[in-house]
A and B are shown apart, each in its own frame.
Chain A
Amino acid sequence: MAKCEVSVYVSIDAESRPGLKGVPTKVLKTGGESETGPPGKPTDAEGTAHYPGLQVGTYKVTVTLTADQLKDFAWPGTDEALAEDSKNVGALESKLFPFVVDPLARPKIKVVWTATEEALGRPREEGDPEDGKAVPGIHVKLGEAINYSDTNGEGIAELAKDQKGLRPGDYAVNLTFEPDHLELIDGRSIPVAKGSKEVETFHVRPCWVEFAVLDQAKKAWEGEADFVLTYPEGKKTETGTLTSDKKGKLRRAVPPGAYKFALKLLYEAKWTAASAEIEKPITLRVQATGHELGDIEFDIFDGCSPTGAALETIKAAALNGTEAEVAWTPKAAKLAAVSSGTVRFIAKAGKSKAVSEAIPITVERVIKVTGTDDLPFKVDMTLYFGDGDTIAVSSDGGEAKPQVPLGKQIVAIELAGQAGRIAGFSNEVGPLSTFFLS
């Protein structure tokens, strides 16, 4: 009886079409009541498996990639492990059943530094040793689902050995940084060719942000203050002290984004009027940065004695931008200790404070002047105070209402052109005195 032969050849779809060793094959004679065939065998080193001495007939050949082989190879258009083909094989015929597998790609991702002057903190040199240096520890993913190993000491990340290779196509490369102060310069998709084992290189650079505080001469500020650094979208804030040895500079390795930097300062404490009057509201104002409204207070002092316990303390009522303010109504009772006729305030918040200038504060005094006949007496007067200050007033209708510096004592009253007359003086607390005018 004439015999025939079936040969199976499994090759890889690559340039030299090499055979694939160790692929299990099976040959079954079809067309009868049952499919029968010789024991299956794997392909040899050439990628072939020969089945000689078969009966003439129709044969179905099945080729099944092993689990290991499926990591690196795939049948075109399917992820199935099995491929099959059927052919008639005639007498004395040796028929070849070729199968071609696609090699899957295992591209590597390499991550290296790009040295920038800013990142180095020094001029970049020709062939800078920092340039192109491998960056280990970067998490790599292709698309959202294909996990790579983290970059190793050589900056290389690759598919895990037990992970299936990639079919050809474009793949988005996602790099995640820990620490997060790195920035990918050349983020992109990579084209992956059939069976590729190319190394795709990506460049990252460290991210930083710097704030440099300068004084009015544009020189580095040597002061000291607490600061608040707010990260992008307010996700995080860092607080600390910018000490004088930092020469006004705060530099941080940070993730990319927009940052807000504020020194916790109070400055330019100012009254909104040149003088204050008892019972009349006046606004106290200070420039405030880095502070919350609730932290800001204003201490009121005698203008000549801005230390010790405050005469009164009031909280800021509004903070518009950098301007904090409060309206204050001076009360004689709270300012009884004022002796200079002036007040000043110290704005304070945490370690910051700002001192205002002293402004005069006055209280209205009513001085009634009557003649010996008890009738209102009009006279021009000069009021003399203990510290030498003077005020000129006139008692129109027998009454003068001078604004007298708070806390100052009237030590003398000079009357113009009233020699030889007698006048009585009284104020709101009673008669002052009766004088014979000489």
Chain B
Amino acid sequence: MKVTGSHNKSHPGDVTPATAVAWSCRRAWHGEKVKVYLHAELTRKDPTAAVRICKQEPIEDFDSLSGIVLSAYASGCEYEIAWKGKAYLKCREFVLKAKVDETLEADVSAPLYVDLDEPEFSM
């Protein structure tokens, strides 16, 4: 942000905070621990951050990482795929949605493919 102005006046300048969320990998097995990265720029210092895990197509809330502040995501916030008893049905791809400071929304992340089925082997 760069502003030029003369004395005895108040000069407004704009900044546009932004945020983005991502999985640490493209594919994981059920039971594996993965990481969630959430980045924000030009926000206030260490705001609250709510990350939701959603089923893809159609996007539908599935799980969440709540009560964690932004700084906790800086080196990746660990998340264990422990979905026994959760109704994932036929969905195998899961995306992240995030909201920082209750107002700033991230674009939907690239999906994480989760192997939720028993592996099949041919003899």
Which A positions have Cβ atoms within 8 angstroms of B? 116, 118-119, 183, 205, 207-217, 221-224, 244, 254-263, 265-268, 289-290, 303-308, 322, 340-341, 353-355, 357-358, 386-389
Q: Provide the bound-state CA to CA distance between A378 and B99, in Å.
A: 50
B10 contacts across to A, CB distance below 8 A:
210-212
The answer to whether A209 touches B7 (Cβ under 8 A) is yes
B123 to chain A minimum Cβ distance, whole angstroms, is 14
A340 contacts across to B, CB distance below 8 A:
25-26
Q: Provide the bound-state CA to CA distance between A354 and B20, in Å.
A: 11
Q: Provide the bound-state CA to CA distance between A203 and B18, in Å.
A: 48
B24 contacts partner chain A, Cβ-Cβ < 8 Å: yes
The answer to whether A265 touches B15 (Cβ under 8 A) is yes
B28 to chain A minimum Cβ distance, whole angstroms, is 9
A287 to chain B minimum Cβ distance, whole angstroms, is 9
B19 to chain A minimum Cβ distance, whole angstroms, is 10
B120 to chain A minimum Cβ distance, whole angstroms, is 14
B23 contacts partner chain A, Cβ-Cβ < 8 Å: yes
B107 to chain A minimum Cβ distance, whole angstroms, is 9
B1 contacts across to A, CB distance below 8 A:
213, 262-263, 265, 289
Q: Provide the bound-state CA to CA distance between A354 and B17, in Å.
A: 11
Q: Considering the complex, give the chain B residue whose CB is closest to the CB of A267.
A: B41
Q: How many A-B residue pairs have CB under 8 A?
A: 143
Which B positions have Cβ atoms within 8 angstroms of A? 1-18, 20, 22-27, 35, 37, 39, 41-45, 74-76, 103, 110, 113
Q: Provide the bound-state CA to CA distance between A213 and B10, in Å.
A: 10
The answer to whether B8 touches A387 (Cβ under 8 A) is no
In the complex with contacts A260-B2, A387-B25, A387-B27, A265-B8 CB distance below 8 A: no
The answer to whether A216 touches B7 (Cβ under 8 A) is no
Q: Considering the complex, give the chain B residue whose CB is closest to the CB of A119.
A: B8
A300 to chain B minimum Cβ distance, whole angstroms, is 16
B6 contacts across to A, CB distance below 8 A:
209, 256-259
A265 contacts across to B, CB distance below 8 A:
1, 15, 42
A-B pairs, top 10 by smallest CB distance, nearest first, are A387-B27, A222-B44, A210-B10, A387-B26, A355-B39, A307-B75, A262-B2, A263-B1, A207-B7, A289-B2
Q: Considering the complex, give the chain A residue whose CB is closest to the CB of B39.
A: A355
B121 to chain A minimum Cβ distance, whole angstroms, is 14
The answer to whether A261 touches B3 (Cβ under 8 A) is yes
Q: Provide the bound-state CA to CA distance between A119 and B10, in Å.
A: 12
A207 contacts across to B, CB distance below 8 A:
7-8
The answer to whether A216 touches B14 (Cβ under 8 A) is yes
A32 to chain B minimum Cβ distance, whole angstroms, is 75
Q: Considering the complex, give the chain B residue whose CB is closest to the CB of A256.
A: B7
The answer to whether A354 touches B41 (Cβ under 8 A) is yes
B93 to chain A minimum Cβ distance, whole angstroms, is 9
Q: Provide the bound-state CA to CA distance between A389 and B43, in Å.
A: 35
In the complex with contacts A224-B44, A304-B23, A388-B113, A209-B16 CB distance below 8 A: no
A76 to chain B minimum Cβ distance, whole angstroms, is 47
Q: Considering the complex, give the chain B residue whose CB is closest to the CB of A247.
A: B44
A304 contacts across to B, CB distance below 8 A:
22-26
Q: Considering the complex, give the chain A residue whose CB is closest to the CB of B24.
A: A304
Interface centre among A215, A289, A303 (most CB of B within 10 A): A215
Q: Considering the complex, give the chain A residue whose CB is closest to the CB of B40.
A: A355
In the complex with contacts A224-B44, A304-B23, A304-B26, A213-B13 CB distance below 8 A: yes
B20 contacts across to A, CB distance below 8 A:
355, 357
Interface centre among B10, B23, B42, B45 (most CB of A within 10 A): B42
